[in-house]
Structure 1
Amino acid sequence: MNLPDKTGVYLFKNKRGEVIYVGKALSLRNRVRSYFQKSRHGGLKVEAMVGHVEEVDYIVTGSEVEALILENSLIKQYKPRYNAHLKDDKDYPYLKLTLVEEYPRLVLTRKLEKDGSRYFGPYTNVTALRGTLKTLKKIFPLRSCQGEVSPGSKERPCLNYHMHYCFAPCRSKISPEAYQKLVKDLILFLEGRQEKLFKKMEKDMKEASERLQFERAAALRDKYLALQGVISRQKVVSPRLKDQDVVGYARGEGETCLQVLLIREGKIVGKEKFMLTKTRDMEEEEILTVFLKQYYSSSSFLPGEIIVPLEIEDREVLESWLSQRKGKKVSFHRPQRGLKKEILDMAMDNARFFLKAEKENMEKRDKMLKKLGEDLGIKKVPHRIEGFDVSNLYRKEIVASMVVFEEGKPAKENYRRFKIEGFEKPDDYKALKEALTRRLKGALREEREIKEGLLGEDKTKFLPLPDLVVIDGGKGQLKGAGEVLKDLGVNNVSLISLAKGEEYVFLPGQKEPLVLPRNSSTLKLIQQVRDEAHRFALSYHRKLRDRDTVNSLLEEIPGIGKKRQKALLTYFGSLEKIRKASREDLLQVPGLDKRTAETVYHHFQQRE
């Protein structure tokens, strides 16, 4: 291999040209050669990977830091099969403060973009984050509406103003200076700098009282107490520790749990947990290094010190990279004794406890799935269950849903919706057969493409096939689904149906239904799959119905065709927001001129 003796990033590709591994090296030539030397012992994963390498590509960089940044970027882009990944890292949400706007908003987002906004996160507990966001909107009532703000408008403020969720800058109910002060206070809170914020608020309360502004002083006091309530559960570690992240880990079988304790101004303000996959054959130092690269490439805040349990590979390069990102020095520290060691032990214990709990939960789910297989007479343990349902709501437009449960839990990223067309009247029986046919044909096509070398196993959309399919319905629906499996030659998928009301389970080839006890774990799981499929189908149907309703209302407006309907809905997101929009807001919509904006505005004003 004629590779340069230079610093850079290398990419291993298989015979289909797919990137299966990305790495960085101080010497591309020496690093890549080492993979193909017989004396190298890299474990089963490396041996399997090398066996699939057909092509080696590389990019020379100017420094190790550049190589590290590029390596991380390429891993995110290609998601190579043999690189370790943060589990579901694409789904971790952030809080986004839109500082590029004159009157910024605080919103939840899953995209980290270079758009001038300030991001806080990532957060792994979405439910807790939504609760925090709701509380913050009460304490820091920033606007939530989209579009430009035009202070001084004579139109009435929206409902959020009257509910004290917004200070209505659009109606000049708050000055730009006061609004920016509110934004700065929110930033202090989200950065974990509560002590500085509280001192500032105490000063403001005192000034308001001295000026006899008792109403403002009372409002500041209420906000102060509300914030105290939010942070009352934070544990004080030591004021000397200031801003730090403490990283602990625990290894499982094939994946590793990592816990990050977030310390701000000497207080533990939170913790985040992550699972790093494909770590079976990796050394612990390598696992920690891979995690630090991936986590801090997308973290919105960098502390001055990161406490770690092991020595870090490429420590100087990582410190240089993080210091460049922060604009100040960032260093790693591995404590041997004292308070920092105690906190590190706490992080390690948290990781172990979480991994142990996950293992116990997995064992319970395995037991439940084995029991389900025994109750239904299925030889194969149903690790993957798919549920199907049809919804028509007396419309010609029919939709079907497919939900997926893996190891007894919903795998929402694998859910599918099917829009059923071509029927003159609603026919749930035929719609179900079509949805199941489309799903199974997709899987069979991918199986052929894999055998022919046209598709990689990690690039599939319809595979794997389910172990069990649950149909919402009775004998008729079960018979129709069975005909689909038979016609397609699919004989390794089990099939049942569950009838509403009596909750009888129907099995192929059996005249009498299976009657399970109401408290049976098998029945509860089947019901959960059935109900989730019903919910998912219904939500899709309502979405289509609402879309049609919105479109029909917009069609009533002169000069608004399909293109402008789409532009309005894309910009505002809902009919309600279009209805509330001012003339100035409407003029921001791409493709809408002044005359059309006036027409839309007056149309909704007249309706009111």
Structure 2
Amino acid sequence: MTDEILARLKKRVKNLPMQPGVYIMKDKSGNIIYIGKAKSLKNRVSSYFRSIDKHLPKVYQMVQHVDDFEYIVTDSEFEALVLECSLIKYHTPKYNILLKDDKGYTYIKITNEEYPRIESAKQRLDDGATYIGPYISGFVVKQTVDEANRVFALPSCSRKFPQEFGKGRPCLNFHMRRCMGLCQGKISKEEYAETLSQAMDFIKGGGNATLKILEKKMEEAAENLEFEKAAHYRDRIKAIQKINEQQKVVYAKAVNQDVHAFVQGSGDTCAVVLKFREERLVDKQDFFLGEVDSLPEARSEFLVRYYSGNSDIPPLIEIDDQYEDPELVEEYIAQQAGKKVTLHIPQRGEQHKLVQMAITNAAQQISHLTEQSGRDVAALAELAKLLGLKKPPRYIEAYDISNIGSDTVVAGMVVFEGGKPLKSAYKRFSIKTVNGIDDYGSMREVITRRMKRYEEEKESGVSFGRLPDLILLDGGKGHVSAVAPVLAQFGVEIPLFGMVKDDRHRTRAIALDGGEIAIGSQRGAFTLISTIQEEVHRFAISYSRQKHQKAGLELALTTVEGIGPTRAKALFQYFKTKKAMTEATVEQLCQVKGISRQKAQAVYEYLHPELFPQEEEEIAEDGE
């Protein structure tokens, strides 16, 4: 955006009213790129053209393309919301959240072969197969196909029939009674066709309708003394009843409701909607929203778009967290439904478990776009929510101070990227300017040195030249208060928190400057923080022990004839570890500057007392 365009837009903003309404942003070609609502048009629109560089990335990109704007004044904010929704649906602007899910149509396919199979298919091909559908939800199709194959014990393996009859043993599904064992060649075409027909009735009519048909057939078979046939019907009836019972046990509290969850990744956000009807999970929908600047704002936009013109709106909608303008959103959805609709954010109990299920599914979808696991995505999202971060922290640095006595004070820095340790980025610090044991002073020194290295290396964008999304200190609010001024001094804004341990040295809470945040109930975040805290403690204390052992051996080496502090230090600088020095030959010891062959031999003998036992002096005893 040029200064000329910005000046022109700012001038236009001055004439906007302080009333509610809708604003329409356009690019230089006149295309609509964003539509929004406002309580006060003047205040909202002017905010886009102030401090442009401080906007979040998506807003910044949108503003850079704005060449002009229009507006429509409304009588109320609710009318603005309704109008905004209608205009977005019609124009589908580039920078608004648009509901594009990840599915196309899906079919149930009955293959064209001598012994047909029931499968799910993405496309309808001209292959002679029978197709049922299309269905909008691939989730429903897969669930239905799996249930039909399981209840009626139809084969789902890759064997070809009848070509492979009697070739090889039956698979595990047969022994688990999940397959009729067609591969054995003992089932007639007529019997298989009847079973397939019953499976199709199950798919088309549902479990309850099929139960009535099978119960009638079981009674007829029993009356005709066809007990084996009656047993087959009985087993199918039990299988259907078991599936229904499993659904009711898991979703007994979810009668008619939708469950929404939103998870942010490093560059995209996924919204998942789980639809429950009559105590069953009947559909799962996934939507990718792109990079969003504010999750509460994204939730509101999504809810309004999702239920706009939707004829299937349940009386209860569960949501994973806070959303903007709750009263307006609830009023709008109730108007669309023509009845009272409750929007609820569960904190505990069965409904909270359903929300967690939706979060897990959303995290899994995000994981497909990255190298992270679904568990790591969910944990980072949960941590961001817990700490009030705008987005999940992909790059985390953690620090711990360790000492063995006042002479060996060190610090360790570990890095977690995408929820996993990045060991190549770990760093160790020897405390140089702090005398004695002073955790706060030591932590200040470490963070100061780290920030100075950033100033020196920031052009590289790697190692110390990269700023973290989050800094964690092994300690409480005192550590946070001690370090916060250092970050302010360097002019960087990095979220800073402490990791608090209980009396048993286990993670208890997150500390901030002025208080604590309990994390015990946040399972994913708790596990991640505990892992980070244990890792940074392990790394720091291992360095502390190494330094202590080195210092002790350096001091011990000075007892060797001809080896003073300077030569002892030179030996360690050359060999790095006691193990390497002990494994060195006399010739290799001679390679160290200032170590003659005679001194090398003396050091070698000192390091290998088992090869060169010292002669014991005779001690005279008192006697007569």
Larger of the two Rg values belongs to structure: 2
Q: What TM-score results when the alignment is normalised by the length of structure 2?
A: 0.37
Q: What TM-score results when the alignment is normalised by the length of structure 1?
A: 0.38
Whose relative contact order is higher, 1 or 2, with alpha carbons under 8 Å and at least 6 apart? Answer: 1
